[in-house]
Structure 1
Amino acid sequence: MNIPWGVRRIRAPKAWNRTTGQRVKVGVIDTGVDFQHPDLQHTLERGINLLQRTMLPQDDNGHGTHIAGSIAAANPVRGMIGVAPRSAIYPVKAFDYNGTAFVSDIILGIEWCVRNRMDVVNMSFGMTTRSKSLLGAVNNAYRSGVLIVASSGNDGKRGTIDFPARFANTVSVGALNRQGRIAKFTNRSALVDIYAPGDKVESAWLRGRRRIMSGTSMATSHVTGAIALLLADKPGLKPGEVKEILKRSARPLRNVKAPRRAGELDVMRMLQTADKIKSASPARESG
């Protein structure tokens, strides 16, 4: 069984006897997915193609397929396994074959995810300009119970990260390499919420193939998968609670001198933290 290094690193396989992400709806706003990919056959729902409304959100770039594979690939015999193999991927194609998109289409994608009750949305992309309308869409999703996971960006900047990861109501993700160190290409600042594997990550690609890619995009998909595992185990959690659990349960980064730095994603610690928080919260009347 091919379990990629990142899936092992975050200790997802140790959680699979408890949660596999079953019935959690994951929106992936990206370039679409390869609907014929053997690693993804069991995890794909129809989704929507915002560029050509009558067509399936078929991937003509590869990026979206790679992201979907890390989140939810489920082909234990000859293929690979993603972080949350029983979760359901709803591809939202807002990006064209070049991997570019209009902000207006991204906003339509977020609105579609809210309307169709996604539990978590993966947004493995970033931009350097702030968009007020994108902020509005992100905040509306958050208030509606839909958590957005976004990439910090790949320009190797210090002290600043991309939008929409820079918005408060997202989970912003930086990338780690196999040694557990922050990858050189990662944008980093105090606004990064969590770090996850993003360097030389193997996942699904077009025409049934696989490819190794590096980027905060890849790290983001690991965090989205972990959230799917958490939400299958604890269905009632609100976006703010999920974010709190992620941050509180992160493993401290190695070789980092700075205090109170965001840590590394660890699925087992995340589930244990959620257990503690849930048992400590007061009972509410359900009348």
Structure 2
Amino acid sequence: MRFVETLALVPLVLAAPRPMRRSALAPLIVPRDAQLVEGSYIVRMKAEAAEQSISSTMELLSAPPAFTYTDAFNGFAGSLTPEELETIRANPDVEEVEQDALVSMFESPQQDADWGLARLSDNKPGGTTYTFDNSAGEGTCAYVIDTGVDASHPDFEGRAKMLKSFVRGGGETDDHGHGTHVCGTIASKTFGVAKKAKVFGVKVLDASGGGSNSVVMAGMDFVTKDARNQTCPKGAVANMSLGGTKSKAINAAAEAMIKSGVMLIAAAGNDGKDAVDYSPASTPGACTIGATTIDDKLASYSNIGSMVDVLAPGSNITSTWMNGETKTISGTSMAAPHVAGLAAYFLGMGQKKEGLCEFMAKNSLKDVIKGVPTDTVNLLIHNKANNGTRGPLEAEAEAEAE
């Protein structure tokens, strides 16, 4: 009888929960040379972690997480005490923890006339006419992860939409202007490369043009999910004219977005340094963009190196601004949307999204930019409209670059 009682206890012993600990703590990543956000962390869970484990991990926090990530990868971001940080790092379902860091847009204001559009269809600098196939990116969507967009600007002709803001108290519109400028270079009537594409604003930077990795990742996570539900029969691209020092978390979110089918265009950065040390510019699979000037020189501020895929006009670029205005500014922030627009343009012509960055590199003007170091490509993007490249309609339109 006592033997039977002992056996009856066995299931109870086996069913007792084991403490969730690991032999070594999950890695804690601190971005180098970054402005860190004190006490704020990004927690990336393992891909195989159960939803219940993720929920129970978040319940350990004394304050609710600021953001939860479900599409780019499983995880969350928020404020952690030192004790909470150690407990979370001991969880075997946690892949890694990264301290949050500040990011910013890559632009600086300058006052001069626009020229970038014309350079995309001319074989030599100095032109004033932009020649393009009249498919003009129709059927494509461009997500702009930035300061938002002034969708009411008349130059968008109703093709711009503000989708989501992740800036607390920032409002559902662009209160800086940078995002509207980027959207205009991609798809506005006057300044846009792809004049029939739709542009979507996803706000992750505040009125000063600043933000943090955790907020930017919330925008990336949103785009990864939203792109599955939008009507973009010819494809979707995402433009990120922002960044900071290298972040494994940002790069992981970027890779997930690319894997979902959204082409990512990333500004290389404005410090004249190697883009390999910046995110999302250093993401494998992203199309990373350096900047050029009106006289076909590499912009002095442009980041360089092996991560740069192509070059595009970036200095003294005029485009749309908030409150229905226009503005001329410079930076790799301005170069990237030329490429995002060109990607939408080629997608609209029927080009496949797979290998599109390589396709644009192949069709670029080669070795025409002065001052490019040997470790950086000398490839200036070009739409080939003056070289016989045509879309399904076999027609072209002309617009004076203003």
TM over 0.5: yes
Q: Which has more radius of gyration?
A: 2
Deviation at 1:272, TM superposition (A): 7.1
Give, in whole Å, the separation in 2 of the partners of 1:257 and 1:107. 32
Q: Secondary structure at the match of 1:172?
A: strand
Q: Please tell me whether the aligned partners of residues 27 and 122 of structure 1 are also in contact (alpha carbons under 8 angstroms).
A: yes
State the partner residue of 1:6.
116
State the partner residue of 1:281.
none
Match of 1:231 among 331, 347, 351: 347
Percent identical = 30
Give, in whole Å, the separation in 2 of the partners of 1:222 and 1:32. 18
State the partner residue of 2:359.
245
Match of 1:111 among 206, 221, 230: 221
Deviation at 1:52, TM superposition (A): 5.0
- Deviation digits for residues 146-198 of structure 1 (CA, Å, limit 9, x no counterpart): 11111111112257552111111211000000111111111111211000000
Deviation at 1:7, TM superposition (A): 1.0
State the partner residue of 2:334.
218
Q: Please tell me whether the aligned partners of residues 192 and 262 of structure 1 are also in contact (alpha carbons under 8 angstroms).
A: no
State the partner residue of 2:18.
none
1:93 aligns with 2:203: yes
* Structure 1 unpaired stretches of 5+: 75-79, 276-287
Deviation at 1:136, TM superposition (A): 1.5
Match of 1:165 among 278, 281, 294: 281
Deviation at 1:15, TM superposition (A): 2.5
Deviation at 1:9, TM superposition (A): 0.5
Q: Secondary structure at the match of 1:157?
A: coil
Normalized per residue, which structure has more strand? 2
Query: One-letter code of the match for 2:242?
Result: F
Alignment of 1:256-267 (within 5 A): 256=372, 258=374, 261-267=377-383
Deviation at 1:46, TM superposition (A): 3.6
Normalized per residue, which structure has more helix? 1
Give, in whole Å, the separation in 2 of the partners of 1:159 and 1:5. 25
Q: How many residues align?
A: 263
Give, in whole Å, the separation in 2 of the partners of 1:25 and 1:53. 27
* Structure 2 unpaired stretches of 5+: 1-112, 123-129, 228-234, 392-402
Give, in whole Å, the separation in 2 of the partners of 1:235 and 1:116. 22
State the partner residue of 2:308.
192
Q: CA 1:259 to 1:108, structure 2 compared with 1: closer, same or farther past 3 Å?
A: closer
* TM-score, normalised via structure 2 length: 0.60
State the partner residue of 1:77.
none
Q: Secondary structure at the match of 2:121?
A: coil
Aligned-residue CA RMSD (Å): 2.7
Give, in whole Å, the separation in 2 of the partners of 1:111 and 1:248. 31
State the partner residue of 1:131.
247
Q: Secondary structure at the match of 1:213?
A: strand
1:42 aligns with 2:158: yes
- Deviation digits for residues 46-103 of structure 1 (CA, Å, limit 9, x no counterpart): 41112259953x01111101101111112xxxxx231011100010001110111221
* TM-score, normalised via structure 1 length: 0.83
State the partner residue of 2:143.
27
Match of 1:81 among 191, 194, 200: 191
Q: Please tell me whether the aligned partners of residues 152 and 161 of structure 1 are also in contact (alpha carbons under 8 angstroms).
A: no
Query: One-letter code of the match for 1:63?
Result: H
Q: Secondary structure at the match of 1:61?
A: coil
